[in-house]
Amino acid sequence: MNYFRTAILLAGLTGLFMGVGYLIGGASGAMIALVVAAGTNIFAYWNSDRMVLSMYGAHEVDAGTAPDLHRLVTELAVRAGLPMPRVFVMDNPQPNAFATGRNPQNAAVAVTTGLMQSLSREELAGVIAHELAHIKHHDTLLMTITATIAGAISMLAQFGMFFGGNRDNNGPGIIGSLAMMILAPIGAMLVQMAISRTREYAADEMGARICGQPMWLASALARIDNAAHQIPNMEAERAPATAHMFIINPLSGQGMDNLFATHPSTENRIAALQKLAGQSGGGLAPETTPAPRGPWNRGGARRGPWG
């Protein structure tokens, strides 16, 4: 991954935040925005994971309440060489998942009920491995911070509409305020999406190596992308700044890579995984430890190749 590029993009997001502050209040407004941005980052560092999980109504599960899911996450975390993350379930029919947390020691993986119901054990393993890859790459903190700053920029732009319309008070004027209200959130979205898209391919590759089978993840991506077109995620619709955290855009599918896509196109991601599978003869060497074993479904349901 290009961490330098990501740092530049994150700096651009902070600069945009300061720019909106400057349009509202001049140099003092820019400085206030910088202080607010720093405070937002500190707040997001400690609280963003709880905020996002609460926003989506996620509830924590353990070996007693969701034994199969918890066991699968445990096995993959061991395989990835990671501490065991907390496991959450969101009561949502759209199959999807995300990871959050400020570091691998304080990470969480959240999956929807739709994901558990519609995917095979192998596909679910691919999805969880992808999310663990984000944790391993320390992407989760970056994703939650960018979501928080992007949301703050939108709110600040709305604030400027009410207090920046008077040129006599060093505001941008009514036309400038309207332009700021429209363009600032778009600019924040573009930077946010660029950051997200630099992470997804790397997480796909690492996830494939963690689970050992690139085509498990490829199959899961195709299934989730198809369902995302048909099943709305109302929580995500109300908080679009968090859409980039999910493995597949919960708001809408994308036909091709473009500036406004929250993720690379699913077709391109699948093609990359197919290429990886072809190079490895279909399977990859374990990331750290031998492949985990154990049933996914109880009561005589189908067992995957790990069982």
Predicted confidence (pLDDT) per residue in 179-227, tens digit: 666 666 666 666 666 666 668 999 999 999 999 999 999 999 999 999 9
Query: Other C-beta atoms within 10 Å of 57: how many?
Result: 12
Euclidean distance between CA atoms 217 and 212, whole angstroms: 10
Q: Average of pLDDT values for 154-176?
A: 57
Euclidean distance between CA atoms 125 and 102, whole angstroms: 23
Euclidean distance between CA atoms 224 and 222, whole angstroms: 6
pLDDT confidence band for 238 (50 / 70 / 90)? confident
Q: What percent of the chain has pLDDT over 70?
A: 66
What pTM was computed for the model?
Answer: 0.75
132 or 48: which carries more pLDDT confidence?
132
Q: Would you please indicate which residues are annotated as catalytic (active-site) residues?
A: 131
195 or 270: which carries more pLDDT confidence?
270
Q: Which of 81-85, 257-261, 290-294 has the lowest mean pLDDT?
A: 290-294
Euclidean distance between CA atoms 96 and 231, whole angstroms: 11
pLDDT for 182: 67
pLDDT confidence band for 139 (50 / 70 / 90)? confident
pLDDT confidence band for 294 (50 / 70 / 90)? very low
Q: Cα 47 to chain center, whole Å?
A: 16
C-alpha distances (whole Å) from 137 to each of 73, 131, 234 are: 17, 10, 29
Q: Where are the domains of the chain?
A: 3-280
176 or 38: which carries more pLDDT confidence?
38
pLDDT for 19: 76
